[in-house]
Amino acid sequence: MSRVAAIILAAGTSSRFGGEKLLAPLDGRPILQHVLDAANASTLDEIVVVVGHSAPRVLAGVRLGRARAVANPEFARGQSTSLRAGLAAVADADAAVVLLGDQPRIRAALLEALVARQRATGAAAVVSSWHGRRSPPALLGRALWPHLATVTGDVGARELLAGRDDVAVVEVTAALGSLEDVDSSDDIARLKGAGPL
């Protein structure tokens, strides 16, 4: 897979957070900016950020760098619609690394590690594993994309990948960052001043 894109899913309503989660400040930057900065620091060929809820406000609050925004008008129907919108926007890529906009402690090194593992193993997909649990970001090879067209609701690729034997794993260590996500203000307080910047 020679051309690999990044897709950042940032279209959700942040209903559990009680506000615009992706713009909440963490160590001087919005949560989404941390994810954008990690993607921009990687060698991935292109970056798209899928927006939906409060899209103008979200985009006004971050610096895209070399990323481009893609609107998902169906965001209310769940994460699966954002994943499809992102894949459609990177149609020329051989694979896509899918990230969540609320995982601010991811490092560019993790994105590079996912790509390196795929190239070393030829796996159809590569997932991150943290404390024994599989989680985004995950690299999805192009052969899997048609199968994702059948996924509905507020889910990503997890169920599709669960039963396959051609999925490789990258164990996330401190050098690659952390997969903690932000669901509440308590999560932000816990993450302040800790982990990669």
Whichever domain contains 64, its CATH number is 3.90.550.10
**Averaged pLDDT of the chain:** 88
Letter for the amino acid at 196?
P
**For residue 197, what pLDDT is reported?**
40
Between 168 and 14, the more confident residue is 168
Contact 119, 1 (CB under 8 A): yes
Contact 93, 5 (CB under 8 A): yes
**For residue 90, what pLDDT is reported?**
96
User: Does any domain span residue 151?
Assistant: yes
User: Does any domain span residue 145?
Assistant: yes
Alpha-carbon span 127 to 118, nearest angstrom: 10
Cis peptide, bond prior to residue 30, ω within 30 of zero: no
User: Does any domain span residue 196?
Assistant: no
User: Does any domain span residue 152?
Assistant: yes
In this structure, of 28-42, 133-147, 157-171, the range with the lowest mean pLDDT score is 157-171
pTM, two decimals, is: 0.90
* Mean pLDDT, residues 77-99 taken together: 93
Handedness of CA 49, 182, 135, 170 (dihedral sign): positive
Rg (CA), the chain: 15
Answer yes or no: is pLDDT of 56 > 90: yes
Identify which of 92, 89, 88, 156 has the alpha carbon closest to the alpha carbon of residue 128: 156
Answer yes or no: is pLDDT of 195 > 80: no
Supply the range of the domain harboring residue 55: 4-191
User: Does any domain span residue 154?
Assistant: yes
Using one digit for the tens of pLDDT, what is the confidence trace for 177-190?
988 887 666 666 66
User: Does any domain span residue 27?
Assistant: yes
Between 50 and 187, the more confident residue is 50
Between 192 and 124, the more confident residue is 124
**For residue 138, what pLDDT is reported?**
95
Domain count of the fold of the chain? 1
* Mean pLDDT, residues 55-66 taken together: 96
**What is the DSSP pairing of strand 125-130 with strand 133-141?**
antiparallel
* Mean pLDDT, residues 169-180 taken together: 92
Return the bridge partners of 47, or none.
Answer: 6, 67
